[in-house]
Amino acid sequence: MAPQSWELDFGRPKPAPTYLLENKAYFRELYETTGRRGSFVRMAMRDSRESQRYFCRADRIESFCGNLSIETLLGASRGLAVQPIALLDDRKADFDDVSKGAGVCRTQLGPLSPKSLHAELKKPRYNTTTGTVIPNTSTAVDASVAATEPDAERRLIYITDLNRCAILVLLDTASFRQAYYLRDFMYNHLVFAPGIGVTIPSTPFKNFAFVFHLPYYAWRKGPLYFQDERRMNGRPLRRSQRLGFLDETPWGPREGESEDCIYEAQISFLVAGLDDSSYIAYAFVDTYHNGPDSDESVKDYHEKSNTQGHYAMDPLSGGTLDADRPVWSPRLYFLRVLELRIEQVKEEFANSVFMIQKKTLPYLEAGLALEDRNVTMIQARTNESVMAFAYLAFVVSPPAVTSALYSMNKEVLPWENNTRSWAITLGSPRTDTHVTDTSTGESSSQVMDKTTLVAAQSLNP
């Protein structure tokens, strides 16, 4: 067998007809050719081998999407279908003209609703002006993109608070080489599951996918409490909890109009493509917990990027990278976004640990003061918070907290040890069972001691 080499497999352009296949909507064509039987979403989510182990995945996504069809979505004039939730960046590198460091871009349309995103993704990524027939498919390629528009070799899709309309749009327009990566990516984002991985199938036709999922708990203080309006099996997709009970000290309530709340949130990122020049990057970012004025909203990114004197923000990187100075390599782009987003999640965890320590300190002090104070009064105040505090204890329990942390190999990642030192590896999220770190054999309680120590170190550098 020939040795594996990135440059050999992905460093050189592929034959032109290969790129034209990216213009075909795989799941939609499959659904139409099978007679439109049953649910489109269920057909897309199930494994091609009809394996029953994938039924739970299809059930969950179908529950999330309901009976929404693409026809209903495109015919809607209000609701989720027309709310702006996406940003799209299509461009092509121009290495022959150094003055075009930003590449050649398609028209930037600003914040897109699911309906308008569908219209853009239905346009061919690669231009053809003659109705070219792709070899071995007998399927004509649409030629609706103006000849003046460049090929969308490098496509970036940013979506906030992924909802059922966005899922339907992405499934309806995904090409064959994107379809299965994207399907699994969306499912893992919805189920609040941590993960990081690289996939390069052992097939003659080489393609790749890099992915990470970073779930975390966000602590917010303010006059408003936000609930996730998305529903999975009748419940909010992301859980949240008011923590007003923490403002009750053993000696009375604290003054103030703001209330502490804790929210589940997740950042997911996928880069999937054919080679160094042809790939799509997707970022799904939860922003509901920051309210309508979130600094990661599509409106905020668009307005700041178009402010005079401000650079064009790359939303997939959290606005840190300059969209007009692209990182063209898919590998380097993935690692750069991973570095920035891990730092963001680390700060969220550090903030949550700090606030827990700060809020629980009065209870610890009360325990030390039992001999000097009225025990009955302290006990009454404390008992009022027992049930709510039990929820908080679950949120910050070893399995719940540490399941969202990751183990990184220092030979792979491009940042310093102090950025990586907070991470460990554990099992599945949302579990009350005993969890063991397979790399060390330590139980979750042992690992939690490490987590607390590292979090404290990050708060006190």
Crossing angle (nearest 10°) for helices 330-368 and 444-459: 90
Q: Is residue 349 scored above 80 in pLDDT?
A: yes
| pLDDT number for residue 455 | 31
CA distance 304 to 293: 13
Average pLDDT over residues 174-197: 93
Q: Is residue 458 scored above 80 in pLDDT?
A: no
Q: Is residue 407 scored above 50 in pLDDT?
A: no
Q: Is residue 371 scored above 60 in pLDDT?
A: no
- Percent of the chain clearing pLDDT 70 (strictly above): 69
Q: What is the DSSP string of 33-100?
A: HTTS-S-HHHHHHS-TT--GGGHHHHHHHHHHHTT--HHHHHH--SGGGGS--EEEEEEE--TT-TT-
Scanning 369-443, the segments in alpha helix (DSSP H) are: 375-383, 386-395, 398-402, 417-420
Phi, psi of 164 (to 5 degrees): -65, -35
Residue with the larger pLDDT of the pair 98 and 70: 70
| pLDDT number for residue 98 | 57
Element housing 290 (H / E): none
| pLDDT number for residue 259 | 86
Average pLDDT over residues 8-16: 89
CA distance 288 to 334: 25
Per the DSSP assignment, residues forming a β-bridge with 285 are: 160, 267
Cα dihedral across residues 424, 430, 434, 438: positive or negative: negative
Range of 124-133, 173-182, 411-420, 452-461 with top mean pLDDT? 173-182
Q: What is the pTM of this model?
A: 0.78
Tell me the per-residue pLDDT of 146-157, one tens digit each, with 9 for 90 and over: 567 899 999 999
What 8-state DSSP symbol labels residue 396?
T
Average pLDDT over residues 418-428: 32
Q: Is residue 445 scored above 50 in pLDDT?
A: no
| pLDDT number for residue 128 | 73
Average pLDDT over residues 393-400: 46
Average pLDDT over residues 114-130: 89
* Choice among 57-71, 388-402, 429-443 with the minimum mean pLDDT: 429-443
Average pLDDT over residues 278-292: 96
Average pLDDT over residues 373-398: 51
Quickly tell me which residue has 């709510």 as its tokens.
388
| pLDDT number for residue 375 | 53
Task: Give the Å distances, CA to CA, from 17 to 138, 255, 457.
Answer: 13, 68, 54
Arithmetic mean of pLDDT over the chain: 77
